[in-house]
Amino acid sequence: MATMSVPATHADAQSIDAYLDRYMERQPGTKIQYGHPSPRFWENRAPQFSELLEPLTPGRPLTLYLHIPFCPPTDPPACGFCLFAREDFTAYKLVVTYVDYLLRELDRYHELLGRRKLRAIYFGGGTPNILKPQEARRIFQKIHECFEVPHSAEVTLEGTPALFTMDRLEAYAEVGVNRLSIGAQTLKPHLIKYSGRKQRPEQIERAVEFCTEHHMSCNVDLITGWFEQTPQDLVDDIDCLADWGVTDMVNHPLTLQGGSAFAAHQDKLPPVAVTCRSFLVARERLLERGYRADSYTDYRRSDLPVVQYLELYRDILNNDRIGVGYGANSLMAGTLDKPGHTYKNVVGFVPYYEGVEAGACVDGIFKFNAEDLRLLYVLKGLEGAPYLRASAYKQTFGADLHEDFAPWWEALQKRNWLVWGNGGEMPKLVGEGVFYMSTIQRAISEPRNAVLRGGETHLSTSLPAVPATSAVA
């Protein structure tokens, strides 16, 4: 075990408590797009592909993420709540052009990497089920050319209910998609109307039935904290989806950021305390209905193994992810001796196309230090059920999980938001602590964020340095 040490800052339980108090009035939402740190701290530049791939570790499981940004237009725009990189769909020929560039980006990776084996593939968006059979086939043909895809690989494609037509579903199954993720948000027509989507529950039921008949896993995304939504609305949705045979469900607390229409009318949303109760009632119901919590938002039928795409987060330091397509995000942790980076592709069709042609389509990159890796490990670990273990932390960082974050644990325990399972081995958020996950994550990363901001933290003194070790290999 080695040598390099990283300065960090510390805090006392009282200031953490005050920090949590201040933020509890705010809708915590979910860090749905990025982990640590926020992209506002990233360098704004466009490295060449060769630099991007430097920290990719041979033999480490590799996941491929493909971003399909098109979405059916809605009023209000972007379904009223969405924060993802997306564009209104106007004409299918633009999708065909986009796919041409996506394939060129895959070629670039292939030229530099050779034919690497993939652990999992995820089509996210935007709305990947905008893809018609022909484009789905082209993309899969290219993926197989560029990567080895073992039979065991989980291949997820997400989409919006109205576009899961039978011809598309059949084509997706034929090319190897084995898991659908349906962005329902709510099954209730009087609630979904706020998103401006033309969506009917039968469209979701039909896609679920297709999955059951074709032995595919089927996830449905729900959102807690919607206009007019009551805890009973969520329970009804969960019961209905469980009766239909859905294998996985995600329950996201609504994230309000930027200029979304929902954020502009947040005074009309349920109060945070009601959203918290709905979120916890939904959690209870999912567990009663035989689903296992694999993270604070992800549930799976308890007879099935953990979703592979989630394994990536379960062990974030030992899984690499390449994201292709406009706005896509990649992460390669590297090692503690030689930390890696995270980067994101440029947003917008023209800059993305120009970037692919020039061999540089990234517009933001963040180079981790060992402290960032420790934070990523702890923040992602806390999201799990639980993924964080004191013995694994000791092995990875050569340090004591209890001591390193002692004031945070103390503040959380005082609120009954945290328990230590297995004789002090596993910290696990409980009760309202689960709902306030992203607020807690913000409190834990605040000292490091203050350093990145170049300013003072509200939580100051010093944390023991991270001893760099090659345990992350």
Ligand X SMILES: C[S@@+](CC[C@H](N)C(=O)[O-])C[C@H]1O[C@@H](n2cnc3c(N)ncnc32)[C@H](O)[C@@H]1O
Binding site for ligand X (CB under 6 A): 29-30, 32, 71, 81-84, 124-125, 127, 158-160, 183, 185, 221, 223, 252, 254-255
Q: How far apart are the first and last CA of the chain?
A: 12
Q: Is 224 left (phi over 0), alpha (psi -120 to 50) or beta?
A: beta
- Pick one of 125, 225, 340, 384: the residue that binds ligand SF4 (CB under 6 A): 125
Smallest separation, CB 55 to ligand X (Å): 26
* 158 contact, one of ligand X, ligand SF4, none, CB 5-8 Å limit per kind: ligand X
Residue 63 interacts with which of ligand X, ligand SF4, none, CB < 5 to 8 Å by class: none
In whole angstroms, how far apart are CA 441 and each of 52, 83, 149, 377, 460? 27, 19, 35, 11, 16
Pick what 78 binds: ligand SF4, ligand X, none; C-beta below 5 to 8 Å, kind-dependent.
ligand SF4
Q: Segment near ligand SF4 (CB under 6 A), from 60-68, 76-84, 304-312, 348-356?
A: 76-84
- Extract the tokens encoding 317: 């330091």
79-118 binders of ligand SF4 (CB under 6 A) = 79, 82, 84, 86
Binder among 28, 126, 364, 381 for ligand SF4 (CB under 6 A): 126
Q: Which residue is nearest to ligand X (CB)?
A: 183
Selected from 29, 55, 128, 183, the binder of ligand SF4 by CB under 6 A is 183
Cis ω on the peptide bond leading into residue 386 (within 30° of 0)?
Answer: yes
Q: How far apart are CA 183 and CA 170, in angstroms?
A: 19
Neighbours of 162 (CB within 10 A): 15
| Secondary structure (3-state) at 421 | strand
Longest CA pairwise span in the chain (Å): 60
Tokens 């050319």, residue located: 145
**Which residues 42-71 are close enough to bind ligand SF4 by CB under 6 A?**
71
Q: Is 220 in the site for ligand SF4 (CB under 6 A)?
A: no
Judged by CB under 6 A, the residue of 129, 160, 439, 445 near ligand SF4 is 160
With CA atoms as reference, report the closest residue to 69 among 82, 57, 80, 58.
82
Q: How far apart are CA 186 and CA 229, in angstroms?
A: 9
Choose one: 38-46, 77-85, 200-208, 272-280; the region binding ligand SF4 (CB under 6 A).
77-85
Site for ligand SF4 in 200-219 (CB under 6 A): none
Cβ distance to ligand SF4 smaller for residue 57 or 185: 185
Say which entry of ligand X, ligand SF4, none residue 339 contacts (CB below 5 to 8 A, set by partner kind).
Answer: none
Interface with ligand SF4 (CB under 6 A), residue from 27, 127, 438, 445: 127
Q: What's the min distance (Å) between Cβ of 383 and ligand X?
A: 15
Enter the DSSP assignment of 271.
P
Main-chain dihedrals φ then ψ at residue 28, nearest 5 degrees = -70, -30
For residues 333 and 376, is the Cβ–Cβ distance under 8 A?
yes
Which is closer to ligand X, CB of 125 or CB of 339?
A: 125
d(CA 97, CA 99): 5
The Cα–Cα gap between 217 and 240 comes to: 17
Binding site for ligand SF4 (CB under 6 A): 71, 78-79, 82, 84, 86, 125-127, 160, 183
